[in-house]
Structure 1
Amino acid sequence: MSVNTRRGAPMTALVLDRPGTPGTLRLTDVPVPEPGVGQVRVRVAACGLNPIDYQVAAGGHPKWSWPHILGVDVAGTVDAVGEGVNDVRPGQRVVFHGDLRDNGGFAEYTLADATVLTTVPDTLAMASAAALPCAGITAYQAVVQRLRVTADDTVLITGGAGGVGGFAVQLAAAAGARVITTTSSGNADHVRELGADEVIDYRSQDVPARVRALTDGRGVDAVVDTVSARSATANLSLLVHGGGLASVAGRPDLTAVAPFATAPSVHEIALGAAYSHGDERARARLSTTLADLLTLVVDGRLDPMVARTVTLDEVPSALADLSDRHVRGKLVQTFS
Structure 2
Amino acid sequence: MRALLLSAPGSIGNLAIGHPDKPEPGAGQVRIRVEAASLNPVDVSTIRSEANPAWDWPHIPAQDAAGTVDALGPGVEGFEVGDRVANHGSMADQGSLAEYRLAHVETLARIPDDVKVFSAAALPCAGLTAYQAIVRRLHVQPGQTVLVTSAAGGVGGFAVQLATLAGARVIGTASKANHEHVRQLGATDVIDYHSEDVVQRTLELTNGRGVDAVLDLVSPESATANLQALVHNGGLAFAAGRPDLNSVEPFTIAPSIHELALGAAYGSKDPAARERLATDLEELLKLVDEGRLDPMIERVVPLDEAPEALAEVGERHVRGKLVVEIGPEI
Normalised by the length of structure 2, the TM-score is 0.97
Q: State the alpha-carbon separation in 1 of the partners of residues 73 and 165 from structure 2.
A: 40
- The answer as to whether partners of 2:63 and 2:95 remain within 8 angstroms in 1 is yes
Partner of 2:14: 24
Partner of 1:6: none
Asked whether 1:15 is paired with 2:5, we answer yes
Q: 2:27 is matched by which residue type in structure 1?
A: V
Q: State the alpha-carbon separation in 2 of the partners of residues 295 and 225 from structure 1.
A: 26
Partner of 1:54: 44
Give 2:234's match in structure 1, choosing from 227, 237, 243: 243
Q: State the alpha-carbon separation in 1 of the partners of residues 12 and 122 from structure 2.
A: 19
**Residue segments in structure 1 that go unaligned for 5+ positions in a row:** 1-10
Q: 2:147 is matched by which residue type in structure 1?
A: L
Partner of 2:24: 34
Give 2:112's match in structure 1, choosing from 99, 115, 121: 121
Q: CA deviation at 1:253?
A: 1.1
Asked whether 1:161 is paired with 2:152, we answer yes
Q: CA deviation at 1:20?
A: 2.0
Q: 1:127 is matched by which residue type in structure 2?
A: F
Q: CA deviation at 1:281?
A: 1.2
Three-state SS of the structure 1 residue aligned to 2:136 is helix
Three-state SS of the structure 2 residue aligned to 1:237 is helix
Asked whether 1:335 is paired with 2:326, we answer yes
Give 1:83's match in structure 2, choosing from 68, 74, 88: 74
- The answer as to whether partners of 1:96 and 1:116 remain within 8 angstroms in 2 is yes
Aligned residues: 326
- The answer as to whether partners of 2:37 and 2:326 remain within 8 angstroms in 1 is no
- The answer as to whether partners of 2:34 and 2:66 remain within 8 angstroms in 1 is yes
Three-state SS of the structure 2 residue aligned to 1:293 is helix
Q: CA deviation at 1:279?
A: 2.6
Q: State the alpha-carbon separation in 1 of the partners of residues 269 and 35 from structure 2.
A: 28
Cα RMSD for the two superposed structures: 0.8
Partner of 1:285: 276
Per-residue CA deviations over 1:154-201 (Å, capped at 9, x if unaligned) read 110000000000000001111111110100000000000000000000
- The answer as to whether partners of 1:45 and 1:334 remain within 8 angstroms in 2 is yes
Partner of 1:43: 33
Identity %: 58
Q: State the alpha-carbon separation in 1 of the partners of residues 164 and 79 from structure 2.
A: 35
Partner of 2:143: 152
Q: CA deviation at 1:21?
A: 2.1
Partner of 2:195: 204
- The answer as to whether partners of 2:211 and 2:234 remain within 8 angstroms in 1 is yes
Q: 2:34 is matched by which residue type in structure 1?
A: V
Q: CA deviation at 1:335?
A: 2.6
- The answer as to whether partners of 1:23 and 1:317 remain within 8 angstroms in 2 is no
Give 2:213's match in structure 1, choosing from 194, 206, 222: 222
Three-state SS of the structure 2 residue aligned to 1:31 is coil
Q: State the alpha-carbon separation in 2 of the partners of residues 79 and 151 from structure 1.
A: 43
Q: CA deviation at 1:278?
A: 4.3
Per-residue CA deviations over 1:182-236 (Å, capped at 9, x if unaligned) read 0000000000000000000000111111111111111111000111111111101
Partner of 1:193: 184
Three-state SS of the structure 2 residue aligned to 1:69 is coil
Q: State the alpha-carbon separation in 2 of the partners of residues 215 and 154 from structure 1.
A: 8
Q: 1:58 is matched by which residue type in structure 2?
A: R
- The answer as to whether partners of 2:98 and 2:326 remain within 8 angstroms in 1 is no
Flag as ranges the 4+ runs of structure 1 deviating above 4 A.
none
Q: State the alpha-carbon separation in 2 of the partners of residues 86 and 327 from structure 1.
A: 39
Is the deviation greater in 161-170 or in 53-62? 53-62
Q: State the alpha-carbon separation in 1 of the partners of residues 270 and 56 from structure 2.
A: 24
Q: State the alpha-carbon separation in 2 of the partners of residues 49 and 143 from structure 1.
A: 22
Q: State the alpha-carbon separation in 1 of the partners of residues 80 and 95 from structure 2.
A: 21
Is the deviation greater in 232-241 or in 269-278? 269-278
Q: State the alpha-carbon separation in 1 of the partners of residues 272 and 123 from structure 2.
A: 20
Give 1:101's match in structure 2, choosing from 92, 116, 121: 92
- The answer as to whether partners of 2:300 and 2:322 remain within 8 angstroms in 1 is yes
Normalised by the length of structure 1, the TM-score is 0.96
Partner of 2:124: 133
Q: 2:317 is matched by which residue type in structure 1?
A: H
Is the deviation greater in 277-286 or in 112-121? 277-286
Q: State the alpha-carbon separation in 2 of the partners of residues 65 and 235 from structure 1.
A: 40
Partner of 1:303: 294
Is the deviation greater in 191-200 or in 244-253? 244-253
Q: State the alpha-carbon separation in 2 of the partners of residues 173 and 67 from structure 1.
A: 42
Q: State the alpha-carbon separation in 1 of the partners of residues 142 and 318 from structure 2.
A: 29
- The answer as to whether partners of 2:97 and 2:326 remain within 8 angstroms in 1 is no
